[in-house]
Structure 1
Amino acid sequence: MLWLNFLHFYQPANIEFHHIREALDKSYWRLVRLLEEHPNLHFTMNVSGCLLERLDDEHETAWLERLKLLVKKGQIELTGSAAYHGFLPLLPEVEVLDQITTNAKILKKHFGKDFKPVGFFLPEMAYSPAVAKLVYQAGYRWIILDEISYDGDDRHLEAGRFYADAASGLKVIFRSRKFSNAYPPDKLLPLFKKIEASIVATKHDKKKETSEVSVVVTATDAELYGLRHEDPTGEMERISKLKSLKTQTISSYLSTVERKHILSVKLRPSSWESTLTEIKRNHPYQLWHDKDNKIQLDLWRLANLALSLKDEFKNDENFYWYRWHLYRGLASCTFWWASARDFSKLYGPYAWSPDDIDRGLGDLIRAVRSLSDIRSKKHKLLAEKYYLRIQERVWQTHWNKHWQKNV
């Protein structure tokens, strides 16, 4: 059986470095060492541009150099993405393109001026036809999405098959939600063992045939492999030693697929957390933009206000700092932490954190405050109104509703 494993490495650009250090020690180093110890292991990865820059700023050169070597050997395929993990379907086109091109520049800085990924990771796997067209326009040729994005009606989605997005022309491969909304090795190890037993049985009885799934596609946060799930029995290490395990990078796998076998399909706006109910109600991004969540609505009001100032104040003497803060404030996690959803069953946290909301909120307001032009005063006053209202709602909601739930 072929396992196509996609790993997403990301930490917010404005997070304290000790959090990144913890992810390095518990997950990132583990995955790099695993690949070094098993040369036949191949993974596809997105390492967000903002994470690469933070590691570089903190002189974490050892991990970066080992990563580069694995990329050079072909064991790792890196994809493009949005540099600061913005929630692309809800951002203006110019901002989407800016984050895509900024990420590409960061990758060239670290992996060479000729480095050009073929695949692209949409933060939160948040798909919209408009964003997909921009990704294709930027030179990328495939994306990975959650299977819920497939608008196939009664047609069954074939595991591991490549499709083509009718809206953009991008090739698409779908992750299995069943195997990805868990710790994949826990789900896959019993399956591989069953396949190995079946192979042995087939050798003894030529009439028997294996009917197991031939390709499994998983896509998760890299932090799942150690930081969020400790894996005390070393299931990942055990699965890496199996003789029946075959792995490929996604582009390598795509190169084996004939063009005539790629079916053009319609995709629906969605994310890797979307539910069918949300999609049917035309709220595919509800986790980040819930019309009943007053905190999220005000966060988006402040974000859109800050974004609207870009052209008017592009010559401001503090424009660099305006952009610096805006990038960080627009990260999808600013809005995610205000959703108050419980992800404990998916090895995730209770998605409510006043401190994490405040971190993104602080950068959004600082983006507006940074502008020195006197004409920005009216915008500053409106921004402060949103800021104070959000702060009050966050802490009132925290003490009255969520306190101790996330302890």
Structure 2
Amino acid sequence: MNKIIWVNLLHFYQPPAADNETVIEAVEKSYKEIISVLKRNPNVKFTLNLAGCLLEKLDRLGYHNLISDLRVLNDRKQIELTGTAAFHPILPLLPEEEIKKNIEANQIILKKYFGENFQAKGFFLPELAYSPAAARIIASLGYNWIILDEISAFGKLNKLDYHKLYLEKPTGLKIFFRSRNLSKSYVPGTIFNLINKNYSGPALTATDAELYGLRHHDTAAIFEKLLKRPEIQTLTVSEFLSGLKEKVELKPLASSWESTASELKRGAPFALWHNDKNKIQKLLWQLANLAITTVNQHQADANYSWARAHLNRGLASCTFWWASARDFKLFSSISWNPDEIERGTNELIKSIRSLTEANTKTAKITGEKLYLKIKQLIWHKHWNHYWKS
């Protein structure tokens, strides 16, 4: 019998400034179902990335049983939990100290819910946005492996040998490469197709957890049926990597799980969040960098904790993603939402407004000017280009 080794990483995340209703919908349609399936199938193993901001939101919303179930699954080693950045920013676009703050904040949150001795082996870069500088920081904080999209290896798809152990040069971090084409589908259905084609070998996937339920309605219960097939064996990422023997050192390209070959070729790996031709994104990053500098220069301010909280929420990738206006054509519509852009913009300006020290006046005035320009551009673009289009 042919065997498929399915190594599946599920990314649990909702924006830190998301409405309660948005998070509740994801819980009820996706998260509960995934965890229930795992509880009903104790031999199945997955790797989960739980963003710290989501864990805290689940706690505030009263999903204590859900968190308890996650703790039980982790204790019995049915799931492997990764480290990440607590508020889901695009790490390569941030200063080094800001990257460290976000990662360390997530470590504190995971220890709060999974025990003081908890230490993740692997690290999930938000949006799989990789840069050598980010990898260096991740390695320095004690992580052993990272997950990247396959395009980061050679700038093209379908070029990897998934039977080899790739090591990030120069840090030595192990790299788990996801298959993009497989991950860009409803994965259980595609793996069923592989069974029917008598495929034998690894199937390496990483998707948003919301694919299972919220974005794809699995009315035929394909997901759970797949897990009961004798051809399927599931492993955590660490288990899979430990079984690879042939080592290959590699210098990955700066990239994300949405990067295209043409973007990498022209040196624009993070164009989805920072496109020089996108006026709104350019202004958003001017405001974001002003907020980062101003808040970090005033850590003794009486309102620093409030300013920091607003900054964390404003730097979430969604603020910039929703301004990209890209059409992904997969389980979603165009990535344009003026309310979400405005939500993130509001958090960034509030981070500056919150500070009380008199010498923040110049930054406040500069920030307000940027803020007004951004809001004007958002709604001018929306009403003229996307409303009833």
TM-score range, shorter chain: over 0.9
Q: Deviations over 1:55-76 (max 9, x none)?
A: 1112210111111111111110
Gaps of 5+ in 2: none
Is 1:278–1:284's contact at 8 Å kept on the other side of the alignment?
A: yes
Identity of aligned residues (%): 47
2:208 counterpart (218, 221, 227): 221
Q: 1:383 to 1:82 in 2, by over 3 A?
A: same
Q: 1:35 to 1:354 in 2, by over 3 A?
A: same
2:230 counterpart (231, 243, 248): 243
* Aligned equivalent of 1:278: 263
Residue 153 of structure 1 and its aligned partner are, at CA, apart by 8.4
Residue 314, structure 1, aligned to residue 317, structure 2: no
1:257 counterpart (237, 244, 259): 244
Q: Distance in 2 between matches of 1:254 and 1:151?
A: 20
Q: Distance in 2 between matches of 1:310 and 1:393?
A: 25
Residue 397, structure 1, aligned to residue 381, structure 2: yes
Residue 40 of structure 1 and its aligned partner are, at CA, apart by 1.3
* Aligned equivalent of 2:363: 379
Runs of 4+ in 1 over 4 A off after TM superposition: 152-155
Residue 249 of structure 1 and its aligned partner are, at CA, apart by 0.3
- The one-letter code matched in structure 2 to 1:403 is W
- The one-letter code matched in structure 2 to 1:170 is L
**Mapping of residues 288-307 of structure 1, within 5 Å:** 288-307=273-292
Number of paired residues?
386
Residue 333, structure 1, aligned to residue 318, structure 2: yes
Residue 162 of structure 1 and its aligned partner are, at CA, apart by 2.4
- The one-letter code matched in structure 2 to 1:81 is T
Q: Distance in 2 between matches of 1:33 and 1:93?
A: 39
- The one-letter code matched in structure 2 to 1:369 is R
Residue 366 of structure 1 and its aligned partner are, at CA, apart by 0.2
Q: Deviations over 1:286-332 (max 9, x none)?
A: 00001100000000000000011134211111111110100000000
**Mapping of residues 71-90 of structure 1, within 5 Å:** 71-90=74-93
**Mapping of residues 69-218 of structure 1, within 5 Å:** 69-151=72-154, 156-195=159-198, 212-218=199-205
Residue 388 of structure 1 and its aligned partner are, at CA, apart by 0.3
Q: Distance in 2 between matches of 1:357 and 1:227?
A: 22
Where 1:99 maps in the other structure, the secondary structure is helix
* Aligned equivalent of 2:331: 347
* Aligned equivalent of 2:54: 51
Q: Distance in 2 between matches of 1:12 and 1:133?
A: 26
Where 1:243 maps in the other structure, the secondary structure is coil
Where 1:271 maps in the other structure, the secondary structure is coil
* Aligned equivalent of 2:30: 27
Q: Distance in 1 between matches of 2:23 and 2:310?
A: 19
Is 2:156–2:261's contact at 8 Å kept on the other side of the alignment?
A: no
* Aligned equivalent of 2:252: 267
Is 1:183–1:229's contact at 8 Å kept on the other side of the alignment?
A: yes
Q: Deviations over 1:54-104 (max 9, x none)?
A: 111122101111111111111100000000001100000000001001100
Q: Distance in 1 between matches of 2:319 and 2:337?
A: 10
- The one-letter code matched in structure 2 to 1:237 is E
Q: 1:257 to 1:225 in 2, by over 3 A?
A: same
Q: Distance in 2 between matches of 1:352 and 1:152?
A: 27
What is the Cα-based RMSD across aligned positions, in Å?
1.4
Residue 159 of structure 1 and its aligned partner are, at CA, apart by 2.3
Q: Distance in 1 between matches of 2:170 and 2:126?
A: 19
Residue 39 of structure 1 and its aligned partner are, at CA, apart by 1.2
- The one-letter code matched in structure 1 to 2:186 is Y
* Aligned equivalent of 1:200: none
Q: Distance in 2 between matches of 1:253 and 1:160?
A: 10
Residue 154 of structure 1 and its aligned partner are, at CA, apart by 11
Where 1:40 maps in the other structure, the secondary structure is coil
Where 2:197 maps in the other structure, the secondary structure is helix
TM-score, length of structure 1 as denominator length: 0.93
- The one-letter code matched in structure 1 to 2:211 is L
Is 1:164–1:263's contact at 8 Å kept on the other side of the alignment?
A: yes
Q: Distance in 2 between matches of 1:125 and 1:267?
A: 12
Q: Distance in 1 between matches of 2:238 and 2:132?
A: 22
Q: Distance in 1 between matches of 2:341 and 2:156?
A: 38
Residue 186 of structure 1 and its aligned partner are, at CA, apart by 1.7
Q: Distance in 2 between matches of 1:399 and 1:167?
A: 49
- The one-letter code matched in structure 2 to 1:32 is I
Residue 160 of structure 1 and its aligned partner are, at CA, apart by 4.9
Residue 64, structure 1, aligned to residue 67, structure 2: yes
Gaps of 5+ in 1: 196-211
Residue 252 of structure 1 and its aligned partner are, at CA, apart by 1.4
TM-score, length of structure 2 as denominator length: 0.97
Is 2:295–2:351's contact at 8 Å kept on the other side of the alignment?
A: no
- The one-letter code matched in structure 2 to 1:351 is S
Is 2:148–2:257's contact at 8 Å kept on the other side of the alignment?
A: yes
